[in-house]
Structure 1
Amino acid sequence: MQTELNKVIAALQDLYAHEGFLFENDIGERAVTHRFAAYLERQFPGWSVDCNYDRLGERTLLLPHGSIISTDDHLGKSIYPDVVVHQREIPKNLLAVEIRKASNHTSLEHDQHKLMAMTDADIWFAYWIGVLLVLDQHNVTASEVYAGGIVDQPLSLWFAARLEEVGLKAAH
């Protein structure tokens, strides 16, 4: 998993190096997410990288009834992850990323529940890894790594340390 997470970090480095305008001008999260996906795509040759992807093969992405996450809309408040790295036709799901701008003061709970659900091996479209990123103008202010339907604390700590090591997270 560390190899894949290092690729996420490389994409973040490219994002911050080349897309300062988006942060300086407080451009919306979807634009930031799109540009991040473009840089992430360079890190995963042979994989598809998509934003707000709503399918698993030919099936629409749905969670079991009664789940905390809505799956019945196309307005961005649903299960559809911000960015995914996958193979569409097989389907094979590697990585799901949720991106939040630090200026977005709504609760992270929705994104956290999405990543828990999307990495839960008991759900038929599980992703191997989930990553939550909170971005401000200059660096990552918060991050979590999900695997097996839960926050993977050791991997989250490792990821945060790597972000700090490359200058993408302020020292705490």
Structure 2
Amino acid sequence: MANVNMYPKDTIENYMQEDKELAKAILEAFSKLYIYDKYLISNKPKIELENDKAFIGLNHHVGERSIVFRFAYYLQKILDERNLYTDYNLDCEYNRNGYGPKFIDSLGKNVYPDLIIHKRGSNDNNLLVMEFKTYWNDNQEDDIKKIKAFINENNGYKYKYGIAVLIGENEVNLKLINKDKSISVDDRTYK
């Protein structure tokens, strides 16, 4: 995992003190992802030869969206089973802000977060925004900028929590982004 030692350690449970049940559900969803969908994370492409030329590159992995979808599926299922956050919606790649597109002025572009928990049609009680990267595409710089904008009280979205996720082969690195723009890290191993 790249550059994880530059941030202080914390735990997601501490970060989400007011929503510890959500923090627990997130960790359980990652556990299920690594138990039931490890193939999506750790399967490396086989290089096939066609006329003595490789035609599948080394970084021809599964798409990040497939992993985010499976994580979201487990998280939604856990929230439903525990009757948690029933007045919120969990969405992936959600690009709407009311009738218009999600737009962040500081980035100068339309955005669609990988995963959000929010109330559709309102920015009053946005709860969580998550951006995901994988170990084969681990540059999180733009994701962190996007999350900082989403949790900024002045931008209109006002998400309570923002997490940049780096999916490793056997571990998850959670960058917990605070309202003051500081970042702490929670690393979890899943075998």
Q: Into which bin does the TM-score normalised by the smaller protein fall?
A: 0.7 to 0.9
Larger radius of gyration: 2
**Farther-moved stretch of structure 1 (12-21 vs 40-49):** 40-49
Give the aligned residue type for 1:6: K
1:113 equivalent in alignment to 2:145 = yes
Q: Percent identity?
A: 26
For 1:33, the equivalent position in structure 2 comes to 68
- Judge conservation of contact 1:133–1:144 (CA < 8 Å) in 2: yes
Unaligned 5+ runs, structure 1: 73-78
Per-residue displacement from partner, 1:48-91 (whole Å, max 9, x unpaired)?
11111112333321112xx2x3524xxxxxx2110011111444
1:59 equivalent in alignment to 2:90 = no
1:23 equivalent in alignment to 2:41 = yes
- Judge conservation of contact 1:117–1:149 (CA < 8 Å) in 2: no
Unaligned 5+ runs, structure 2: 1-15, 44-60, 81-85
TM-score normalised according to structure 1 size: 0.77
Change (3 A) 1:6 1:151: farther
What secondary structure, in the 3-state scheme, does the structure 1 residue paired with 2:113 have? coil
- Cα deviation for residue 152 of structure 1 reads 4.4
Give the distance between the partners of 1:43 and 1:70, measured in 2 at CA: 36
Please tell me the root mean square deviation across aligned C-alpha atoms, in Å: 2.0
- Judge conservation of contact 1:119–1:127 (CA < 8 Å) in 2: yes
Give the distance between the partners of 1:115 and 1:168, measured in 2 at CA: 25
Give the distance between the partners of 1:152 and 1:23, measured in 2 at CA: 25
1:143 equivalent in alignment to 2:174 = yes
Give the aligned residue type for 1:24: S
Change (3 A) 1:40 1:151: farther
